[in-house]
Amino acid sequence: MDDTIIRTENLHHSYAASEDELEIEVLHGIDLHVKQGSFVGILGHNGSGKSTLAKHFNAVLLPDVGKVWVSGMDTSSEENTLDIRRTVGMVFQNPDNQIVANVVEEDVAFAPENLGYPTEEIRKRVDDALKAVDMYDMRTHAPHLLSGGQKQRIAIAGVIAMRPRCIVLDEPTAMLDPYGRREVIETIRVLNKVFGITVILITHHMGEVTRADRVIVMDEGRVYMDGTPAEIFSQVEKLRSVHLDAPPTVALLYELRKEGLNVPLDALEPEDCAAVIGALIKHKA
């Protein structure tokens, strides 16, 4: 059986910038296959179309031209929408905009309740979801008193309670401090590696996707680069040409290469970068 969870074919999308203006096309024919269980990072300058693309993955937006399939279901068929939304959940940037209840576990129960599941089923899903994001101990707390990172984990739990096969996160750490960011990214990593949930992460923080399976770079409504993190982040000039940048580790190695030192550019993590530089220094000493 095909293990593609999301597929787009010649996906075009337009919107009108303002009332009296002509429509602007923001996605120019995207062809994409996302494998079930993979961790995919999507990068791109603001305005590149990445959020617009992500919103097609759970039928928040529908294609103007082309098609999108989620688990084989055509997103343009209204009869599929509920199942699609159960299969792919979305988490957005602002934690405060995603909380609806006064008690953590009630907020997480929101979706299962609306779907009319029996009480025991809701209870089990809420508990499982909260444990998956390591917030079970806070289940009776008030969400608005939590830190940003904790709120985002509650938002993720709310999505997990639907037992989706895939979660799409649109810059979920933009409003968080470094610790909150680490908490959320670690939670996402566990969901992907331990629970096998497909993760699609849109971000401007390169460090969040250095361990992804795949990184897609969008530019002006098109897929510009597509490969492993090592393949993508080592192409420093190409990234800079589309208003992105390599992670500081790669940027440093790139500078050393320009000085004539023979260093690889795919040591993304600080420890790996240090190992490369350490070996270089010790070798020459």
Partner 1 sequence: MAPIIKTEQLTHIYSKGTPFEHLALDAVDFSAERGEFLGIIGQTGSGKSTLIQHLNGLLKPDSGRVLFEGQDIWQSKVFNNSVRFKVGLVFQYPEYQLFEETVFKDISFGPKNMGLKPAEIEERVYEAADFVGLGEDILKKSPFDLSGGERRRAAIAGVIAMRPEVLILDEPTAGLDPFGRMNLMKNIRNYHEKNGATVILVTHNMEEIAREADRMIVLSDGRISLSGTPEEIFARAEQLESMRLEVPDITKVFLELRRLGVNVPRSVYTIEQAKKAILNREGGSLFA
- Which residues of the chain form contacts with partner 1 (CB under 8 A)? 17-18, 44-47, 93, 147-149, 171, 174-180, 204, 207, 243-245, 247-249, 251-252, 255-256, 259-261, 270-271, 273-275, 277-278, 280-282, 284-285
**Length in residues, the chain:** 285
Distance of closest approach, residue 47 Cβ to partner 1, in angstroms: 6
Q: Compare residues 160 and 216 and give the one whose CB is closer to partner 1.
A: 216
Burial of 29 from C-beta contacts in 10 A (0-12 / 13-18 / 19+): middle
Phi, psi of 88 (to 5 degrees): -125, 120
Rounded-to-10 torsion of CA 177, 49, 161, 174: 10
Rank residues 174 and 190 by Cβ distance to partner 1 and give the closer one: 174
CA angle 32, 94, 233 (to 5 degrees): 45
Cross-strand bridge partners of residue 200: 40, 168
Q: How far is the CB of 46 from partner 1 (least distance, A)?
A: 5
- Tell me whether residue 65 or residue 242 sits nearer to partner 1 (CB atom): 242
Strand order in the sheet with 214-219: 88-91, 166-170, 198-202, 39-44, 214-219, 222-227
Choice between 44 and 158, CB closer to partner 1: 44
Give the residue with the Cβ less far from partner 1, 83 or 96. Answer: 96
Q: Which is nearer to partner 1, 148 or 164 (CB)?
A: 148
Closest contact distance (angstroms) between CB of 241 and partner 1 is: 10
Smallest distance, Å, CB 135 to partner 1? 17
Q: Could you tell me which of 176, 162, 19, 32 has the C-alpha nearest to residue 92?
A: 176
Least distance in Å: CB of 283 to partner 1? 9
Q: What angle is formed at CA 188 by the lines to CA 78 and CA 184, rounded to 5 degrees?
A: 115
Residue 53 CB, nearest approach to partner 1 (Å): 15
